[in-house]
Amino acid sequence: MGDAQTGSPTPPLEVAKLNISHLTKPIKFRIIDELKTVFRDHPVYHDIDNFIQNKYALDERPVHGIVLKNASGDLIKLSPDNFIGTLISHVFLGRVSNYKGRSIEWVREDVENILGSSIEDVSDQFDGTIRIFTVTNTPLVDPLTGEIASRPLSVRVTVNGVPVIPAAINAQDGQITLQVSPSATDVVNVQYCYRTLEPQGIYYVEITGKNSFIVDPLYVIENEVITNNYDGVSSNLQLDHYPLLGQTLEIWRDRRIKLYPNDEFTVDATTGIVTLNITLPAGTILTASYKYPGTSRGPYPLIQERSNNQAIKGVVLAFERGILEGDKQAIIIRNSREQVAKVYGGKWDLSFPIDVYSRDPIEREELADLLVASLWEGLKPRLDQEGIVVKNVSLGGESEELYSDTTGDYYFIASIDLSVEVDWELHRPLPFAFTDFDFVLGGADQVKALGGEEQFSIQMENVLPDLSPVARIGFRNFERLSS
């Protein structure tokens, strides 16, 4: 990432502003694709999958075919302002200043690949005097909640096949402390879950071409323990990661007193060496929070209106139809799940009239029966599980249409009505968080000197996210989630 590598301030993040929700197009083409799959393996009508279409789009009408003609629907409101809840997630989408931010449509946790599990034999780490061992994969997570593990029972340890309860676990470092030291001949196994999500940070996704993109990570470190027991003498301390980005380093004493840069400490951003300019008492705990750039990676293949879950581990990126070359957006990943967006949504009751046509009236009836059976018996259970609820499939009647004045031949048409109910969602991001407060000292006189209570109120209104209710779709104020 150019900005990170040069050490200049990182571009500010803005609210993701994208278009209104897709609705009829993905549902129609999903149904068409499912019908193609059904008829492709049929022993008699296997060729009809080439003639299952949206509208009559063929230059010459074939012997038989299926047409999903149009769509109509009614909005079902679940609440007066369409608000249905708050999204809690590890990831959310941000817009980078001075970029359009129109290439990534939405981001989500890759729920199927965000966690991993492992069984390890750690017997070689014990000699009869050691109680602490380290596992390979970190951070450890609780298998019940998916959050960072805090309970000893989040892992399963056995000594010679007998389960034992650990005394403590360090989830970030992967260290587990046993209550009794195993001997050098004991067989110790540990079974645990760990998070495969990328480390906390801001991942800038840049569109480098119509079919490719790169990822520039900017890692965010919070509360890294520089020393857990300061000796009261040393002036130089080492950070775990470097080079640092700009002036992002914050150092805290005993996790509650913030040290002032340049006055109380200095840092070499290239080497990560912190120099203390003040004397601290022995036993002090020093922690650091900072940002440092990772290595740019890619390019990755990009397909419009498709998703990618390989570029950023544990994250699904869904791309727009209109990809803008040179566009840049930011994916923010947090260690713990937090409120990332307000969710507005409801349901649509959609109706799709379908025409089944053939030059043979007997064939028309067979095709109509096959279509109804496929929709109601075969596709309904699978579509229902995905949120496309098939409410009704009905036969609308039969008709004929003359296609040759010379021969007097007809097309025989059967009408079928398909009714489905789908969800729609719009996410209004909440990319706002306080890291700390500075209290104004000096009482009313100091407040007055800084602009008065009214001025303070105006400043806070400019900082806080807009919490006004939303009663309709659109105006490009939302992250978009396709129905």
Asked if residue 288 lies in contact with residue 226, where contact means CB atoms within 8 angstroms, the answer is yes
Return the pLDDT at 446: 46
Residue holding tokens 């200049």?
A: 8
pLDDT in tens, the chain (483 residues): 444 334 444 443 333 333 334 677 778 888 888 888 888 877 887 777 777 877 765 566 677 888 887 788 888 888 888 888 888 899 988 888 888 888 888 888 988 888 999 999 999 999 989 999 999 999 999 988 888 898 899 999 999 999 999 999 999 889 999 999 999 999 999 999 999 999 999 999 999 988 899 999 999 998 899 988 888 888 899 999 999 988 889 999 988 888 989 889 999 999 999 999 988 889 899 999 999 999 999 899 988 878 899 999 999 998 887 788 899 999 999 888 888 888 888 888 888 888 888 888 888 888 888 888 888 888 888 888 888 888 888 887 777 777 666 665 777 888 888 888 888 888 887 755 555 555 444 444 444 444 444 444 444 444 444 444 333 333 333 444 433
Return the pLDDT at 425: 82
The maximal CA–CA distance of the chain, rounded, in angstroms, is: 105
With CA atoms as reference, report the closest residue to 177 among 126, 138, 228, 120: 126
Q: What pTM does this model have?
A: 0.73
Return the pLDDT at 408: 58
For the chain, what are the domain ranges?
Answer: 115-195
Determine the Cα–Cα distance for residues 284 and 228; give it in Å rounded to an integer.
Answer: 7
Return the pLDDT at 433: 57
Listed in sequence order, the residues at least 6 apart from 435 whose beta carbon sits closer than 8 Å to its beta carbon are 289
Determine the Cα–Cα distance for residues 253 and 144; give it in Å rounded to an integer.
Answer: 34
Return the pLDDT at 404: 62
